[in-house]
Structure 1
Amino acid sequence: MTWVELFVVLFFIFIGARIGGIGIGFTGGLGVIVLSLVMGMPTSQSLIPIDVILIIMSVITAIATMQLAGGMDWLVQLAEGFLRKNPKRITFYAPIVTYLMTLMAGTGHTAFSTLPVIAEVAKEQGIRPSRPLSIAVIASQIAITASPISAAVVAFSGMLAPFGVDYLTLLAVCIPTTFTACMIGAFVANFMGCELKDDSIYKERLRNGLVKVSDGKKREILPTAKTATFIFVGAIALVVLYAAAISKSVGLIEDPALGRNAAIMTFMLGAAALITLVTKIDSSKITTVSTFRSGMTACVCVLGVAWLGSTFVHGHIADIKAVAGTLLSDHPWMLSLVLFFASMLLYSQGATTVALMPAALAIGVAPLTAIASFAAVSALFVLPTYPTLLAAVEMDDTGSTRIGNYVFNHPFFIPGVVTISSSVALAFTFGSVVL
């Protein structure tokens, strides 16, 4: 029956992936129905990652409010200025921009706004756009595992707390290792594919007039943009400072009235309230902006997929311990492979973390191994169906960023694998010093 139940889990994840977007959350719910009512597996609401979902909702609400006030446009303008000042190094500077924006916002969907700029700057310089676009998308995904306010980091830090690893220690390992890994990935991406002028598809598109030239128009920035951005960034700083103050390693507040997760939620909602009051934006429009829609989609996906995965894992934890415990104790690096392949299907760093990390820690995986493997939950680029990946393909009118006939032969694959592998290796090394 275990194999049948596993098949049910994988089947509904597969169907959800075929539907796309929010559909994987829907089919996760169907899978729970089949496992519980048809196959008799016990499940409960306690298996739902409530805190993760609430944090996503709170953070996305603050980001959407900032976006409506023009803050996102201002950040993109700053990013564009940075990239145009250093156009020849676009393959290295593009991932820096998308990494930092994701680090600050807690969602990789911020990359949507910068991808057109990256493609345009690369094209102007005669640089193959697939090079900076590929690593920029990868950086926006892996930065989730280093963002102080991402659902994946918050959930994982809560799992590590009983093992004596606090929130700040997790960030101290993940931020430098993932960023360095992105630079290694950029170095590899810089040699991917032929030069743009030698690309036959680009030449054909150029002859047919399908390659557009920039109109040089500057984006209009609302007068409320800077104020909204400063409020949002200030809220993030407060989250990190408060988390430090209540952590056992710092111990400034020994008996906090507000826990870390609750602090993230309240600070983010408070930031949204301040932005709305100070900038006087129309709050009824907040739910219509793109970041709000993508964030709420993520909530449903985490709800369905994490509940489905947790139901299966909870029902077979003893078997999983028996089979995987010895294997991972002898080959701890294999946890990164498990997370890598799982995230390919789950399409969410948060969902993968919540579904698999508790089981890994429960079977005796060392905290260092779990932290080092954490970056592997970012393998959303393997199947060429993730929104930011598809957006990069669409925004490159030179045709250099294209998906091959064999599914996996796309320009994101090799830089992505190199970046994750480098991050895991660096985290094992650096983590052994920090922990």
Structure 2
Amino acid sequence: MLAVQFVIVLLAIYLGARLGGIAIGFAGGFGVLVLTLVCQINPGKIPFDVLQIIMSVIAAIAAMQVAGGMDYLVSLAEKLLRKNPKYITFLAPVVTYFMTIFAGTGHTAFSTMPVIAEVAKGQGIRPSRPLSIAVVASQIAITASPISAAVVFTAGLLEPVGVSYLMLLAICIPTTFVAVMLTSIISNFLGCELKDDPVYKDRLAKGLVSSAVAEKIVIKPGAKLSVLLFLIGIVAVMLYATAISKSVGLIANPILGRDDAIVVFMLTIATMICVLCKINTGDILNAGTFKSGMSACICVLGVAWLGDTFVQAHINEIKEVSGSLLQEHSWLLAIILFFAATLLYSQAATAKALLPAALAIGVSPVGIVASFAAVSALFVLPTYPTLIAAVQMDDTGSTRIGKYVFNHPFLIPGVVAIALSVLFGFIVGNIVI
């Protein structure tokens, strides 16, 4: 029955991936229905803790976007990229990495992609180089963002075994960032030069390559204030999480737990942005970040619930088969997380579905922290929104998906960046933990 149920899980995920977007969450729920009613196994836990964090953070980000804060951040990124166009392959991932760290969602990369493609093209640089590593950086940075649901969940999971919230960030931020920057060096040599690309030459001859200059971004009056308020919210979350940590112990018996505090702080910041920046709250529902964030909630709801239902039903078999192997070779967890994330399409859903089981079967805290970056393997199948957007925004045709599906420009940078992140995670983790 285990094999049959595992096939059901894979078929549900496959169906969701084929339908695309939010449908992977729908298909996850369908998979839970089959496992519970047909296979007669108990349903797993609905990941409400992860969902409430995503919803509250996205609410604050959407309010900031309506106030013009995202446009302001993009304008700063654009100035940096246009000032140093020759270094676009190195600066593009820096921009998307830190925007994701700041916002807690990789979808912020959407707003910078047109600038990245345009600057690269203007310098005669193959746009696939900066675009591919920029997309990968925006995904990996989720595992280093103080307010991402994946980080908050993992910190809560590891704190009882001696890894605090700040310790997790202290390991993940430098290791993932250094890994991304080293990968950008490799990315700078991937693919032929733009002038030699046959697809580009064909598109150029047909007049399909645009040379239009992007419109100047108009900054709204409350834009800077909204960014400042959101930054205050992030700092408040980090300070409070540190204060209630058992290793610090400034607040012995906190009224608010870490998860509840994040929700409260983020909704409070959203309220302050609405009041002080005088935005129309009705516009928040139509904001791009709000729509993508709520879509992510449905995906996490279905997929993480499906994964937890299967894992909890077979936790004893999993312990028996892989427990000793993962205890002795904890790096194998990174490989498991890598392939799981490829199917689950969410860092938070992957962490929620597999990390508790990994801890239960005896994987060391160092192994979990070091392998954590592997939950960002959302680039393998060329169907993730930011990946598709990068392909569409590069009118030179250099950022393209090959006829064999997996031969696309995001695969090599993604695999290298995650491998380096895991390697550095083990090195730093063994020193810090």
Instruction: Give TM-score scaled by structure 2 length.
Output: 0.99
Q: How far, CA to CA, are the matches of 2:419 and 2:221 in structure 1?
A: 43
User: Superposition pairs for residues 80-119 of structure 1, below 5 Å?
Assistant: 80-119=78-117
Report the count of equivalent residues: 433
In structure 1, the partner of 2:402 is 404
Instruction: Give TM-score scaled by structure 1 length.
Output: 0.98
Contact 1:184 1:418 in 2 (8 A): no
- The one-letter code sitting in structure 2 at the alignment partner of 1:212 is S
In structure 1, the partner of 2:296 is 298
Q: How far, CA to CA, are the matches of 1:218 and 1:285 in structure 2?
A: 22
Select the residue among 64, 67, 70 that pairs with 2:65: 67
User: Which stretches of structure 1, 4 residues or longer, exceed 6 Å deviation after superposition?
Assistant: none
In structure 2, the partner of 1:19 is 19
**5+ unaligned residues in a row in structure 2: which ranges?**
none
Q: How far, CA to CA, are the matches of 1:329 and 1:235 in structure 2?
A: 38
Q: How far, CA to CA, are the matches of 2:212 and 2:224 in structure 1?
A: 26
Instruction: Give the CA deviation at 1:327.
Output: 1.6
Instruction: Give the CA deviation at 1:251.
Output: 2.0
In structure 2, the partner of 1:170 is 168
- The one-letter code sitting in structure 1 at the alignment partner of 2:26 is F
User: Superposition pairs for residues 247-286 of structure 1, below 5 Å?
Assistant: 247-286=245-284
Q: Which deviations, in whole Å up to 9, do the C-alpha atoms of 1:329-387 show, x marking residues without a partner?
A: 23221110100000000000000000011111100000100110000001100011100
Q: Which deviations, in whole Å up to 9, do the C-alpha atoms of 1:116-173 show, x marking residues without a partner?
A: 0000000111111000000000000000000000011011111112211111111010
Q: How far, CA to CA, are the matches of 1:425 and 1:316 in structure 2?
A: 30
Q: How far, CA to CA, are the matches of 1:77 and 1:249 in structure 2?
A: 40
User: Superposition pairs for residues 25-424 of structure 1, below 5 Å?
Assistant: 25-43=25-43, 47-215=45-213, 217-424=215-422
Query: Counterpart of 1:411 in 2: which secondary structure?
Result: coil
Percent of pairs with identical residues: 64
- The one-letter code sitting in structure 2 at the alignment partner of 1:149 is I
- The one-letter code sitting in structure 2 at the alignment partner of 1:41 is I
In structure 1, the partner of 2:2 is 2
Q: How far, CA to CA, are the matches of 1:196 and 1:104 in structure 2?
A: 33
Q: How far, CA to CA, are the matches of 2:46 and 2:147 in structure 1?
A: 19
Contact 1:49 1:303 in 2 (8 A): yes
Q: How far, CA to CA, are the matches of 1:297 and 1:4 in structure 2?
A: 29
Query: Counterpart of 1:313 in 2: which secondary structure?
Result: helix
Q: Which deviations, in whole Å up to 9, do the C-alpha atoms of 1:289-320 show, x marking residues without a partner?
A: 11001101111111111111101111111000
**5+ unaligned residues in a row in structure 1: which ranges?**
none
Query: Counterpart of 2:289 in 1: which secondary structure?
Result: helix
Aligned CA RMSD, in angstroms, stands at 0.9
